[in-house]
Amino acid sequence: MRPNPAEIVRTLVAGRLPGLVHLAHRPGPHHARHVTDPDGRVLLLVPVASHLAAALQPVTGGNDVAVVLDVLDLPPAAGAPGLGRAWVSGWAGELHGDEARRAAVDFAAVEPTGDLLDLGTRFRLFRFDVVEVRWERAGVVHRVDPGEYAEAEPDPVHPVEARLLADLAERDGAEVAAYLRRQLGLTEQAPDGPPRVVRIDRYGLVVALGRPGARRRIRLAFPGPIADPAELPRLLPPLRLPADARPQR
């Protein structure tokens, strides 16, 4: 098993990676602080005194503004393959009153920033339902059904993946390599170096074979998808889950 395109896009746009906002017929792009709520809707936390806030104001007679959120994956370690790039689009409108307060709770669940306390004075919240989804990888653009996107869940491992890979790198290299060789059925030490974990997701590991920079990779699947990074030490014994590698609740 491996993440499907809808899950990858949900993971990329969840709010842990920087995003750019493009607006139809407006200057840009704009850097934006964003998250997605449990239904996959995009929330934008925008300073009142900013070009983005001005650009998000609808023209006369309109209510919402057409926007595209553009997020590029940042590989968690040197030599790790990227997950690609996601574009999600919809019509953004400003939230007010109880609706804004409920959305602020959703925002804080992903990014608990104190700027939410200044909502309505120094900051505004905008939200849009995702009506178009695209995912690009290796130069190929795939269209993802918006309904499948909405039903998918962000990968719970992604927020702490870089810390987990760093922990594995700091462990006894021989222990990690021996574990990977056993799991992959490799009987001998490869002449060009030991196997290395270069990505971790809820479904398993991506293991690189050969010298750093080599493109030969194998996926090592877990028995089933995990719901919490705390399950990883049971599935990957060389890993000792650091305390700071637990997602914020």
pLDDT digits (tens, 9 = 90+) for 84-142: 999 999 999 999 999 999 999 999 999 999 999 999 899 999 999 999 999 999 899 99
In angstroms, the CA 98 to CA 66 distance is: 24
Give the range among 34-38, 194-198, 229-233 with minimum mean pLDDT: 194-198
Task: Say if residue 47's pLDDT is above 90.
Answer: yes
The model's pTM is: 0.88
Pick from 78-87, 191-200, 210-219, 230-239 the range whose average pLDDT is largest.
Answer: 78-87
- What confidence score (pLDDT) does residue 169 get? 80
* CA distance to 16, 52, 93, 104, per residue, from 99 (Å): 23, 21, 12, 9
Task: Say if residue 62's pLDDT is above 70.
Answer: no
- What confidence score (pLDDT) does residue 192 get? 64
- pLDDT band at residue 185 under the 50/70/90 scheme: confident
CA atoms within 13 A on the CB side of 33: 17
- 159-245 is classed CATH 3.20.180.10: yes
- pLDDT band at residue 63 under the 50/70/90 scheme: confident
Task: Say if residue 242's pLDDT is above 60.
Answer: no
Higher pLDDT, 233 or 214: 233
- pLDDT band at residue 248 under the 50/70/90 scheme: very low
Provide the mean pLDDT of the chain: 87
Q: Which CATH number applies to 5-153? A: 2.30.110.10
- pLDDT band at residue 22 under the 50/70/90 scheme: very high
Q: Boundaries of CATH 2.30.110.10 in the chain?
A: 5-153
DSSP alpha helix (H) spans, the chain: 5-12, 51-55, 97-110, 146-151, 161-170, 173-184, 232-235
In angstroms, the CA 93 to CA 58 distance is: 8
Cβ atoms within 10 Å of 112's Cβ, excluding its own:
10
Cβ atoms within 10 Å of 131's Cβ, excluding its own:
11
Task: Say if residue 247's pLDDT is above 60.
Answer: no
Q: Boundaries of CATH 3.20.180.10 in the chain?
A: 159-245
